[in-house]
């Protein structure tokens, strides 16, 4: 990892997303990109600071994640290597600054990769890590996309108000980072969006919007949504048109809607209603 600078950040929160296994519909990396562009809403917003970048040669299999060639307006060619960048964002209008980690899931040396990231987090005095992911699920595209929040230890889950992670099975780099944070006694929360498996074409702005809303709710902040709401509606309309062209898919969507509606009716709680009200009031205050 090449470290360019260690900026002074106020009690920073680190938010992490990787393309690849944990990024169905490019929802997680889309949310991280949105945060990079919209977190700083001060009167004089500053560009994100490039803090560090991983050495592509050390962590990526180029036959799995191939370098990309691009050509600029002057017809000059350049090679863009898969990597991971770490950015710092000053947010003077909020209580915390932020460290944003965006990249391609590494192919190898996950322990070293994670150790380097957590060493840097320690240098930056990060006190909370949030990982963003997206997976395919049995969910209808016509309903709000659910986001689950979980912690890797009962104490962390209880203190931060999220569920205890009960997942067992294969994991990606996000799981390794969460485990490493737990061993270093750094709070870590995972937010995962579940988007319809029959509408997994990238990008999925509706899933990105769901993750942004989840970040807002968890951190109790408000962010401009730019075109995300409009893009989400367009995506939903396109998927609906696709479903209507196939009777089997259309019937399957109806069954998912009925199941989703029944489950939400049974599970709705005062806490969920309160969170929706808090989000509405936050946006009203911002406006």
pTM exceeds 0.75: yes
Q: 235: which 2 tokens?
A: 């995506």
Task: Give tens-digit pLDDT for 175-234.
Answer: 999 999 999 999 999 999 998 888 877 799 999 999 999 999 899 888 888 889 999 999
CATH number of 2-286: 3.40.50.10900
Q: How far apart are CA 278 and CA 213, in angstroms?
A: 12
pLDDT (tens digit, 9 = 90+) per residue, 92-122? 888 899 999 999 999 999 999 999 999 999 9
Domain ranges of the chain: 2-286
């Amino acid at each position: 990892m090449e470290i360019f600078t260690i900026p002074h950040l106020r009690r920073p929160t680190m938010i992490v997303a990787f393309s690849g296994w944990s990024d169905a519909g490019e929802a997680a990396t889309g949310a991280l990109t949105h945060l990079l562009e919209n977190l700083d809403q001060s009167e004089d917003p500053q560009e994100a600071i490039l803090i560090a970048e991983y050495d592509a040669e050390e962590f990526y299999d180029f036959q799995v994640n191939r370098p990309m060639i691009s050509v600029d307006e002057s017809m000059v060619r350049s090679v863009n290597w898969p990597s991971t960048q770490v950015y710092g964002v000053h947010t003077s209008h909020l209580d915390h600054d932020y460290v944003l980690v965006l990249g391609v899931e590494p192919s190898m040396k996950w322990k070293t990769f994670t150790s380097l990231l957590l060493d840097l987090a320690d240098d930056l005095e990060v006190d909370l890590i949030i990982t963003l992911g997206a997976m395919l699920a049995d969910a209808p595209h016509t309903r709000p996309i659910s986001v689950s929040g979980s912690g890797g230890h009962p104490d962390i889950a209880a203190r931060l108000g999220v569920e205890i992670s009960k997942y067992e099975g294969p994991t990606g780099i996000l799981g390794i980072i969460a485990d490493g944070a737990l061993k270093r006694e750094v709070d870590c929360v995972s937010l995962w969006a579940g988007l319809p498996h029959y509408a997994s074409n990238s990008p999925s702005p509706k899933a990105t919007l769901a993750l942004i809303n989840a970040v807002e709710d968890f951190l109790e902040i408000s962010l401009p949504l730019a075109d995300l709401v409009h893009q989400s509606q367009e995506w939903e309309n396109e998927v609906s048109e696709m479903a209507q062209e196939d009777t089997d898919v259309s019937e399957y969507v109806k069954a998912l809607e009925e199941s989703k509606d029944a489950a939400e009716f049974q599970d709705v709680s005062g806490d969920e209603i309160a969170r929706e009200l808090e989000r509405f009031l936050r946006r009203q205050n911002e406006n």
